[in-house]
Amino acid sequence: MTETIQRKMKLNSFDKFKAEKDGLAVKTEIEHFAKIGWEAIDKTDRNHRLKWLGVFFRPVTPGKFMLRMRMPNGMLSSQQMRVLAGIVQRYGDDGNADITTRQNLQLRGIAIEDIPDIFNRLEKVGLTSVQSGMDNVRNITGSPVAGIDATELYDTRELIKQVQDMITDNNKGNFEFTNLPRKFNIAIAGCRDNSVHAEINDIAFIPAYKNDKFGFNVLVGGFFSAKRCEAAIPLNAWVEPNQVIALCRAILEVYRDYGLRENRQKSRLMWLIDEWGLTKFRSQVEKQIGLTLETEALKDEILWEKRDHIGIYKQKQPGLNYIGLNIPVGRLYAVDMFDLARLAEVYGNGEIRLTVEQNVIIPNVPDSRLETFRSEPLLKKFSFEPQPLTRAVVSCTGSQFCNFALIETKNRALAIAKELETELSIPKPVRIHWTGCPNSCGQPQVADIGLMGTKVRKNGKMVDGVNLYMGGKVGKDAQLGSCVQKSIPCEDLKPILRSLLIKNFAAQPK
């Protein structure tokens, strides 16, 4: 941020500590932190600045950190998965990995003493966690079947990697973009089914043709927070693929230099757009990029219902298939990770892909290997033909590992889904999303049924509860759902969900 802009603005407490010392500055202190141990680390460094390196202190599991990876477009190799499995294996019962709703992995149970060695191991296989937390651009999402889907319009993989490299200076860490007002999400869609949930990103690129030329319409400002949730709105701009990186840079620079910093609850990009108006914001972006942006294409190419990619599907490469495996609530343990790496090597080309629904895709499986693949023991746990609720349930971390969460989510979400599946015949998947707090990491607003954790009073005692959201729609004409019922005790939730499934989703009692 320029000194002139900073002087004119009152700063919230977070921006004050960032002004004192940039979050990325702790990169040079990791060896020291490892030697002195977690309790001796300066509290602001430990609780906040370490997040610039993707290292999260968790008060609910003191001494055990979470490590959030960057995985552009949800891509990793079997070699990388094996390295990550080896990291979490070290921590026994405490070690596991969660697939997130941004197509990346979060490793749990990590000791600060091991971070220097872990970073060395990650670097050797081309992985990084830099700038994956706090006021940085988070993992950049794209179609999980990029490059293998016969119906795709644009292969997003290389473009997304280039955007990440620009933001992180090729994974070294980039001080240009470490002092944003708040976190920032970018998605680039290359297919017709909005597999990236474009509407909830600060910048989203949507495939669109203009004068028979391929490019992207641009959406801006989508976000979830405890105070407010908004869907992204059109910037009234269309760009060709070779302009995407420059536009991302320009928008980030405008947001960095002019974004609101006095009230942290009003620091996301949409608040700046509200204050300026879209015309002024777009004009400032054009000034920053040094280019007059073309107006948006009259229609985009998001034409389909959203796919979850679970199952066996033909690729555009003759004789090859991709297989989408359901990972219930995205939870993986070391043995699972080693096994997925093995499957990717034995049956495919060593490639593994993650989805925003917290699932895994193994691509490039030859027709001749499909039958053998079907008999793999791991598929009893991670099915390609799951039941309709288990198939579509999504959950945030919950109070087991996150100090923000008000309730436990993952285990509860899976247990209720399985119970309902034994009682009901459900004709098609119903997307039930759980989130432990108003920060909405589990994205209840995009679900068929969304559940947001809260505390409620029942019989004079405070118990775990949820607020119920309905009406979220994904794919074509995506929209955010809204809260329709508050303060439902979790112990009373199952019959309410049962009734909703029968009334709204054509479920029948068995």
417 closest CA partner among 452, 448, 390, 383? 390
Burial class of residue 346, CB neighbours in 10 A (0-12, 13-18, 19+)? middle
For residue 46, what are its two tokens?
């430990």
Strand ranges for 116-202 from DSSP E: 141-142, 186-188
417 closest CA partner among 381, 391, 453, 443? 391
Contact 473, 508 (CB under 8 A): no
CA distance linking residue 406 with residue 450, whole number of Å? 15
CA distance linking residue 401 with residue 94, whole number of Å? 10
Q: How many CB atoms lie within 10 A of CB 488?
A: 18
> 60: number of CA atoms within 13 Å, CB side?
15
- CB environment 108-143: b (16+ within 10 A), e (fewer): bbbbbebbeebbeebeeeebbbbbbbbbbbbbbbbb
The catalytic residues are 68, 182-183, 436, 441-442
For residue 76, what are its two tokens?
């990793």
